[in-house]
Every structure is written in structure tokens, then in C-alpha cells.
Structure 1
């Protein structure tokens, strides 16, 4: 029997190659898990949260394509229609709100976005997910508290975004957060389409803002235009491909949305002060630590990478 038709409020698990499709349901939220080549689709879902525990997962959504590694999380707005496929050893947990409840459930200021948890925060998230899973059958105050606890936990991980919210136009905090939530979705769209050039009209359609308003507000919040962000993200993707593949420079440029090798080489040198070939040949002493060795753009500062240990 297809679990999506069972009508039971119990959590769903797609494991060992099994596939699940979530259809519209009356309950407020579903606690789900996808693991070991399992797949899950939620075409009619509302706001959703996805947390990678082990291995990797590939998530397709309206915002683009994302590959999550251990400790990474992704929060998607309603109508994102996530489609998840886990790797052979991948384990992902999720919380999916019903589409009709996304507007009435108090999301504890949780916004669309992505990030990485420290090991302690990941253990807390797993514990909250388990509590939510166990209480989901009751549909009582305990289930509601479990739902709010998970949303509050993700919101706490986004506390560094408060400064950006204050930059948004609007007379009230509520309006500022609404605008910022749409800008966050536009930012996710850019991150999810690092393989090509993103048109401003696409972001405008996604956020329901005019192209002019979107571009102006995005720059005020993130200190870069959407076009500049697209170039930066595509170059960062190129750095990953230079590390992880033996593709030619031309192939990597094409895979990152550049028209030709010359435009890719020029953009790479302008941002990083070296050629793509020189970067590929450069020694990387921290590669054995499993941390990112992406070159630092001129004028930027490095950040310490956190390696997550899974037990």
C-alpha cells in the first residue's frame, strides 16, 4: 500500500531503495526519513526542513539542485516540491508541513535557507525529530510542542541573519521578515543553479517582486547584486570541480555556465588572482582534513571549517 494513501499520521520512511510520494494530507506536519538509496517526493508540501545525518543526498526543488553532506540542513518554502534521493549510505530526516497549514502554523521565525550544524546541534535536531515522530500519532499538545521545538531549533541557527532582516524595507518587523524570506528564497535559487546563468526575471517570478525592486533590495541586504552573486557561486562551483574531477578547464567552464574558456579564465583570474590551472596544481595541505580548500577571493577573509564527526 502506498503510505501516502494510508491516512495514518505516523512518520514515513523511505529506506533501501523504496520510494514515497507525499500527497496532500489533513494533518499539520509529517516527520519523514529517507535513507540508503530511498527516495521521497513532496509535490504539494508546505514549508519543509531537511537535515542530513550521514552520507549524502541530492535534493531537487523549485529552487534548484542541492547536494547535502553530513550536518547540512536545508529549509524550503511552500511550493518548493522537494524530490530527494539518498546515496547508498545516506540518511536524511525531515519535517514537512501541510501546504494549507504553512501560513497558520507559527514557524518561530524560521526562514528559507541552508547551513551546517555543529555536532551538538545535530544531536539536538535528531532528538527533537525522534520526539516529534513519537508524538505525531497523538495529534495533541505534545505533538504541537514537538513541532514548535524543531522549528525553534532551526530558527536559532539562523540568528546571524537578524542583522540582514533590519536592512529590509518595511514599516514593521513582520513585513521586513516577509521581504527577507523572499530574498532568502532568491538566494537559494542562485545556489541551486550554479551550473548556469540565472536571469533576473526568474528571481522576480520566484519572489513575486519586480526585477528592479528585487535587484535593489537584494544588494541592500547581501552587499552584492544577484548577478554578482551568480558569478561568485559559479566560480566557487568551478573550484570544487577543479578539486574533484579531471575535467579540462573548458569543460569545467561550460559546466558552470560560462560561454567559452576565455570568459571563464578571465572571470577566475579576476576573482582569485590566479589561473584555474594554477589553482588545480597548487598544493592543498588541508585536503586530508576533509575541509574546503576553495581559494579566497581578493579582499575576502577565510572562515574556519568545522568537520562533523558521525558515530
Structure 2
């Protein structure tokens, strides 16, 4: 199995797991290329140019230049670049992910965010270097592979630094428990973000995190400063604002695409958040 996989010019690479699946793979998609991450592989992606669509267990996401996103091992995300898109990433098997957590404290977690230009350039250089080195390590053990990836892993951990700074706020007597809780809550937050087209039930999030509904809601609010319901409403309204500024959809269509039952409830919620009507917002955002 290759340690570098790249899908370019419409090429489609299926995510078929095998007994010889490597512990680490440098991956990338570009110019309408697409790829599905194999089962049991953690993955992190960075959009360098254009845009890409990513769909996994947590939902559907749009990546634009300067965005990063990471998925847990059972997410199996499918990444599709647009005609000008370039998106690079890294997949890690279970053993490599554990070793990476010890090497690049506090480890890597599911989530998404923005990456500064200088950080993106550094990550690209390290990705290229890692890809070259991995090609010479056929049959190497996990420790050797992760050691080779150390500069890239440290860069990825630094990119996630603002997010992982919240780990100490999680409940738990040990660092391991705090990290476990943080990882589950991050996944729930991504699930909300990836399902901005509908109302997500607390029971879905509780099942996803293996917490009770009460404990999940309490811990989510403690970590993020807002309830899951408030976070969902905020994300759906932010999605509506994006659609109003980037599409020709009618107001009613935007409301439906963001999970609102009717235009009246959408209009009230949108005005409460943006202090103006959806129509006025669209006019304000028009070039």
C-alpha cells in the first residue's frame, strides 16, 4: 500500500481498508479529484486553493482556502475538490494516532477551523517532506513512522492549539479523561456544524458521544459557553447568511435549507441575530 495517495483531474480513489493498510498516509485531492478515507483512519485536511466538499458521519462541510478539518477514525469522510481546488491531508491508523498523542501533546482531535497563510505554507513544506520520507519506510514500525512525521504532527497540533486549549475545562480527574470528554464533545459540535440544514435532537448528540442527554447538555454548555440548541440555531443562521450572500435562492428556500419550518420563524430568528431582515442583509452583502 502506498504511503502517498493523490487524486487529480477527476480521479476517484475508494477508501477500501486492507490488512496491509499503512499507519500513516499523506493524501491529497485536486481539480475534481475525490477520495474516501478508509475505515479506522483518523484524518486531517487543509484546503490550500479553491474549495472542496467533505462528507462524513458528522455531516457535510464546505472547505474554502485557509480552512482545516479533522475527522475521527470511524467517520470515513469523502473529499471532493472543485475544478480549481487543492486539498492536502494526513491519515493515521489507531497505533499511529496514539503515538502521535504522546509525541505532539495534546494530540490531534476532530474539529475544524482556519489556518493562517504562513502556517499553511509551512504545513505544505512539511507534508511534502513527510511524503518523501514515508516512501522510504516500507515495512517500518509505528514508532519509526511517527518519528518521521514529528515535524508535521507538531505543526498540525499547533494549528489546533486554539481549539485544544479548552481541554482543561472538561470534567475529569485525569488528563486522559479530560481528553476523552473533549474529543467526544468536539465530534458533537462538528455534527451540529455538518447538519446545518435541519434541527438536530439532543438525543442524537447524546448517542453520538455515549453520554446521557443531561450530562451531554451540561458538559457542552460548560465547555463552549452555549447550549447545544443555541449552538445549532447560531450555526443554522450563519449558514443562512452565507446562502443569502452567495446564492440567488429565494428567502423561503434559504429558510427551508437551514431547517426552519416557515418563513415567519426564520425571519424572527434572523432579525434577532443580525438586527436586520434577510432581504436587507442580502442587499447589504451585494457587490
Q: TM-score, structure 1 length as denominator? A: 0.84
Aligned to 2:27: 32
Aligned to 1:291: none
Aligned to 2:5: 12
Aligned to 1:227: 229
SS at match of 2:149: helix
Q: Tell whether the 8 Å contact from 2:60 to 2:195 is kept in structure 1 after alignment.
A: yes
Aligned to 1:265: 267
SS at match of 1:27: coil
1:58 aligns with 2:53: yes
Distance 1:101 1:23 in 2: 19
Q: Tell whether the 8 Å contact from 2:172 to 2:178 is kept in structure 1 after alignment.
A: yes
Deviations 1:232-281 (A, max 9, x none): 00000111111112222111111100000011011111222221112122
Structure with more of its chain in helix, by fraction = 2
1:74 aligns with 2:76: no
Which residue among 131, 134, 137 is the counterpart of 1:133?
131
Q: After TM superposition, give the deviation of residue 164 of structure 1 in Å.
A: 2.1
Aligned to 1:153: 155
Deviations 1:17-74 (A, max 9, x none): 1111132244211111111111101241421111111111100011111111112111
Structure 1 consecutive aligned stretches of length 4 or more whose deviation exceeds 6 Å:
none
Aligned to 2:99: 105
- Larger mean CA deviation between 56-65 and 162-171 belongs to 162-171
Q: How many residues align?
A: 277
Which residue among 181, 185, 204 is the counterpart of 2:183?
181
- Larger mean CA deviation between 26-35 and 182-191 belongs to 26-35
Distance 1:30 1:283 in 2: 41
Does the C-alpha gap of structure 1 residues 20 and 162 become closer, same or farther in structure 2, counting only changes over 3 Å?
A: closer
Unpaired runs of 5+ in structure 1? Answer: 1-6, 288-311
Q: Tell whether the 8 Å contact from 1:182 to 1:207 is kept in structure 2 after alignment.
A: yes
Q: After TM superposition, give the deviation of residue 189 of structure 1 in Å.
A: 0.8
1:246-265 equivalent positions in 2, closer than 5 A: 246-265=248-267
Q: Tell whether the 8 Å contact from 1:41 to 1:81 is kept in structure 2 after alignment.
A: yes
Does the C-alpha gap of structure 1 residues 195 and 160 become closer, same or farther in structure 2, counting only changes over 3 Å?
A: same
Distance 1:132 1:142 in 2: 12
Q: After TM superposition, give the deviation of residue 162 of structure 1 in Å.
A: 4.6
Distance 1:229 1:74 in 2: 19
SS at match of 2:35: strand
Distance 1:234 1:10 in 2: 38
Q: Tell whether the 8 Å contact from 1:31 to 1:133 is kept in structure 2 after alignment.
A: yes
Aligned to 1:191: 193
Q: TM-score, structure 2 length as denominator? A: 0.91
Q: After TM superposition, give the deviation of residue 282 of structure 1 in Å.
A: 2.4
